[in-house]
Structure 1
Amino acid sequence: MIHLCISTLILTVVMGQKSTDMDKLLNWCLDAKLHKTAPGPENSLHKQCSPWKDRSCCTEETAHKVHNDNIYNFNYNHCRNMSKKCNEHFLQDHCFYECSPNVGPWVVSETRTWRKERFYKVPLCASDCDAWFNDCAEDFTCTDNWSRNFDWLNDTGCSSKCLTNFCPKGSECMTFRKIYGNASNFCEKVWDHAWQYTKDSEPCMRLWFNGSVGNPNDAVARHHAHLIAGASTKHLDYLLFGFLLMILWRTICVF
């Protein structure tokens, strides 16, 4: 019975994944507002999104919108105008969100009007996170979790599509350094644990890379996809073993 409980636990862990299919895990575009249904090449991608052009979940049109339009009516300047260096990191982060086909092992379901999936605790290389935080440390914000804590209000008199994020009532604008304290806290909290601060010596994602020499995040996704596929195989073995033990236990009880 102990083995049966163990097998059930492993089954639960594996079932937490959206898929155990290797090909799907390695070629996943989020079910969201602007994502393609499957990754593929683009003739070019705009500026910060350019590394993903050979295999991308975003179109050239989306890449332009990331840089030139406010796709989700999100105001990065909710306290003060964001510095150029800090904004460049958030553009890279946004390009990763829209364009990366490497998030399959970390996709979870979500119910929002503009997406049905998100990624959760993707391992982000510590050096990338440190650089992001250091360039934003003296910029200002009023809350640590930008996915959940803002008040979304309409101050333009138009439809609900004009809702924009405002600082929560009673909050105070402070530097990123004061709000978050350190890089790991910042990267993990700012988008509601989309990222997980990970040592560079471990398999981890890069926000920016030289696309002309390949995507280093492919190998990271493959590493984690193998772990998921392996866990799937093991849980079947445990289930079979537990089932046989249960039959044996019942046989012993009968006799």
Structure 2
Amino acid sequence: MRLLAELVVVVVVLRHAQGDASLQCVSGPFHKPSPSKEVDIGANTACGEYVSLSCCPANVSDAIDRQGDRELYNFHWDDCGTIPDACEQYLKAESCFFECDPYLGPWKGKWDGTLNKVPICASYCDQWFEACKDVRLCAANWITDFEKNSTTGRYHCINDTCQTFTQFYQNGKGLCEIMWGDSFQYVADNQNCMVMKFEGDNPNAEVTSGATHIACWQSSLFLLLVVVYSLFQS
């Protein structure tokens, strides 16, 4: 009877933890404490997909729609020339994904404001690469290869050598797994994977639900073994 009672407690606690993990905002400077509806996000703007549930307030969405990361972080994408609209849409989508998507909880990085190996669908990475393959930029890794000017606050490339996306990344896998360091992982479409652009309901909810479900039951098994062991020791 005692074992049954303890197992019930374990299941209840883990189910509550699973629910919390499924909806968590990244701890960044422009993120809300928790996701909620944002009716002021324009439906036809860069982050319009997140109007029903968002980790970013409308003013952040507006800033991304206007100038990408320039207003938020003084981070410029166009040091090597103008970014064509087809490519810029994907860069803005990545910014919206990071700032606004409410389903990134299981992939929070070790430090605030970072992500770790979010599974991105291979087809999405390939489409992103195709849209940007001839665009020139001055850094491969946008985390390590930029530095902040202490006077102006503007981020600029450590090296001034401009190369195309193709030269830096070769393909969609290289793009998704190099541009933002360990933030993203290139994953086959037939596995649980996320996208950064979508229409209608956010498909990433199902991916996060699956990830937290697996983590929940792994924890359940571990706690079950701990409970059984403690009972046999008593």
State the TM-score, normalizing by the size of structure 1: 0.77
Please report how far the alpha carbon of residue 215 of structure 1 lies from its aligned counterpart in structure 2 after TM superposition. Answer: 1.4
Which residue among 102, 119, 133 is the counterpart of 1:137?
133
The reply to whether residue 41 of structure 1 matches residue 37 of structure 2 is: yes
Q: Find out whether 1:163 has 2:150 as its counterpart.
A: no
Query: Cα offset for 1:238?
Result: 4.2
Offset of residue 236 of structure 1: 2.0
Equivalent runs, 1:89-128 vs 2, <5 Å: 89-110=90-111, 116-128=112-124
**CA offsets per residue over residues 119-148 of structure 1, 9 Å max, x none?**
211111111111101111101123211011
Residue matched to 2:52 = 54
- SS of match in other structure, 1:94: helix
Asked whether the 8 Å contact 2:141–2:179 carries over to 1, the reply is: yes
1:200 alignment partner in structure 2: 189
Structure-2 separation of matches of 1:97 and 1:148: 18
Moved more, 63-72 or 97-106: 63-72
Match of residue 22 from structure 2: 26
Residue identity opposite 2:37 in structure 1: P
1:151 and 1:58, CA in 2 relative to 1: closer, same or farther beyond 3 A? closer
Q: What are structure 1's unaligned runs of at least 5 residues?
A: 1-19, 111-115, 248-255
CA displacement at 1:28 relative to structure 2: 0.4
2:219 maps to which of 232, 244, 254: 232
* SS, match of residue 188 in structure 1: helix
The letter of the residue matching 2:48 is S
**Separation of aligned partners in 1, 2:65 and 2:213:** 35
Percent of aligned positions that are identical:
29
Q: What are the superposed Cα offsets for residues 203-228 of structure 1, whole Å, 9 maximum, x if unpaired?
A: 111211112xx211111100001011
Residue of structure 2 in register with 1:188 after alignment: 177
> How many residues in Structure 1 have an aligned counterpart in Structure 2?
214
Q: Do 2:75 and 2:156's aligned partners in 1 also have CA atoms closer than 8 Å? A: no
3-state DSSP of counterpart to 2:54:
coil
> 1:30·1:118 contact (CA, 8 Å) conserved in 2?
yes
Contact (CA 8 Å) 1:44, 1:50: kept in 2 or not?
A: no
Deviation at 1:84, TM superposition (A): 1.4
Q: Is the CA contact (8 Å cut-off) linking 1:105 and 1:228 kept in structure 2?
A: no
In 2 relative to 1, CA 148–242 (structure 1 residues): closer, same or farther, beyond 3 Å? farther
Distance across 2 between alignment mates of 1:38 and 1:146: 27
Report the 3-state secondary structure (helix = DSSP H, G, I; strand = E; otherwise coil) of the residue aligned with 1:88.
Answer: helix
- Which protein, 1 or 2, shows the higher relative CO under an 8 Å CA cutoff with sep ≥ 6? 1
Cα offset, 1:54, TM superposition: 0.6
Separation in 2, partners of 1:217, 1:172: 36
Aligned partners of 1:242, 1:165: CA distance in 2, in Å?
A: 54
Aligned-partner Cα distance in 2 for 1:75–1:143: 12
Letter paired with 2:30: L
Q: TM-score, normalised by structure 2?
A: 0.84
Partner of 2:207: 220
Please give the root-mean-square deviation of Cα atoms over the aligned residues, in Å: 2.1
